[in-house]
Amino acid sequence: MGFEKFLFYVFALITLWASGMVITRRNPVHSVLFLVLAFVTSAALWILLEAEFLGIVLVLVYVGAVMVLFLFVVMMLDIDLAALRAGFIRYLPLGAIVTLVMAIEIFLVVGSETFNLSAFPAPDAADSSLNNTRELGLLLYTVYLYPVEIAAVILLVAIVAAIRLTLRRRPENKYIDPARQVLVKKGIDRIRIVKMASEPFEKEDSA
């Protein structure tokens, strides 16, 4: 148990440190990379809790896909450090109020009768042969089928909306459609090779 606790503290400290760096780094690319570190160490914490499916999926979805797109956008920003620092004092009071409200909310939830730690006794450690993925899948697709389907539909609507926003006609854009390009046939659409009999060449008199 001692080694596990040690690992927990190591990962927890790295997570806290990385999260702190996310909001204190001036360069947004560094912030994003620290956020990646925070995600990876929280995944490690979940694996320590024997929730290996959640841990791996956190890395796969958030680190492998979402953060890559984040980085993609942030990388293209023209980073003006002075402008980033300018608003600090102006936004400080607002930020402090938001932080305070959030802290109170967390306290209310964790400290309340229904949600505090003693209301949920820690479960016994499961057998290591227990297949996390199978258990989760069985629950999601039987007991929680409707919530899963509703979440999927909401995501689908979001995808459709996002794609619709980018679909606009731009006549000046010389867009080429690769789907039509690959359908081009050799004879009809491209070059037509015309067979032609050679014609006699009439030699002009050089003299």
Partner 1 sequence: MIELWNALPLVLQILLKIAAIVLPLLGLVAYYTYAERKVIGYIQVRIGPNRVGWRGWLQPIADAVKLMMKEIIIPTKADKTLFLMAPVIALAPALAAWAVFPFDEELVLADINAGLLYILALTSLGVYGIIIAGWSSNSKYALLGAMRSAAQIVSYEIAMGFALVGVLVAAGSLNLGDIVNAQAGHVFTWYWLPLLPLFGVYLISGVAETNRAPFDVAEGESEIVAGFHVEYSGMTFAIFFLAEYANMILVSALTALLFAGGWLSPLPQTLVDGVFLLDDGFHWLLLKTFFFMFLFLWFRATFPRYRYDQIMRLGWKVFIPITIVWILIVALAVIYKLPPWWSA
Contacts with partner 1 by CB under 8 A lie at 29, 33, 36, 52-53, 56-57, 59-60, 63-65, 68-69, 71-72, 75-76, 129, 131-133, 176, 178-179, 181-182
Q: Which of residues 75 and 158 has its CB atom nearest to partner 1 in the complex?
A: 75
> Residue 190 corresponds to which tokens in the numbers above?
């491209």
Of 82 and 89, nearer to partner 1 (C-beta) is: 82
Closer CB to partner 1, residue 76 or residue 193?
Answer: 76
Report residue 129: phi and psi, to 5°: -85, -5
Nearest to 67 by CA among 104, 105, 21, 33: 33
* CB closer to partner 1 out of 113 and 177: 177
Q: How far is CA 43 from the centre of its chain?
A: 15
CB of 3 to partner 1, least distance (A): 10
CB nearer to partner 1: pick between 78 and 199: 78
> What is the rounded distance in angstroms from the CA atom of residue 110 to the CA atom of residue 173?
55
- At its nearest, how many Å lie between partner 1 and the CB of residue 32? 10
Q: How far is CA 203 from CA 135, 164, 198, 199, 206, in A?
A: 91, 68, 15, 12, 9
Do 51 and 125 form a contact (C-beta atoms < 8 A)? no
Quickly list H helices, the chain: 2-24, 28-48, 52-57, 67-75, 81-86, 88-111, 132-141, 145-166, 178-181
- For the CB of residue 47, give the shortest distance to partner 1 in the complex, in Å: 10
**Contact call for residues 42 and 18 (beta carbons, < 8 A):** no
Smallest separation (angstroms) from partner 1 to the CB of 72: 5
CB of 14 to partner 1, least distance (A): 16
